[in-house]
Amino acid sequence: IYVQHLYEEMTSKNKAMYLVIALLTVIIFGITILVIDEGQLFMAIVGVGLLVLLALFAFGMPTYYKNSNLKGDGIILIGSKYAYLNGYFHNWDFPLSGLEKVKKIKKPFYGLEIHYFFTDRTMTHTMEIQIPAPTNIDLDAVIEELKAANQ
**Domains of the chain: which residue ranges?**
2-70, 76-149
8-65 pLDDT tens trace: 989 999 999 999 999 999 999 999 999 998 989 999 999 999 999 999 999 999 999 8
pTM confidence score: 0.70
pLDDT at 113: 94
Q: In angstroms, rounded to a whole number, what is the distance separating the alpha carbons of residues 142 and 44?
A: 56
The predicted model gives 125-149 an average pLDDT of 92
54-63 pLDDT tens trace: 999 999 999 9
DSSP string, 53-67: HHHHHHHHHHHHHHH
AA letter at 1: I
The pLDDT-based confidence of 4 (bands split at 50, 70, 90) is confident
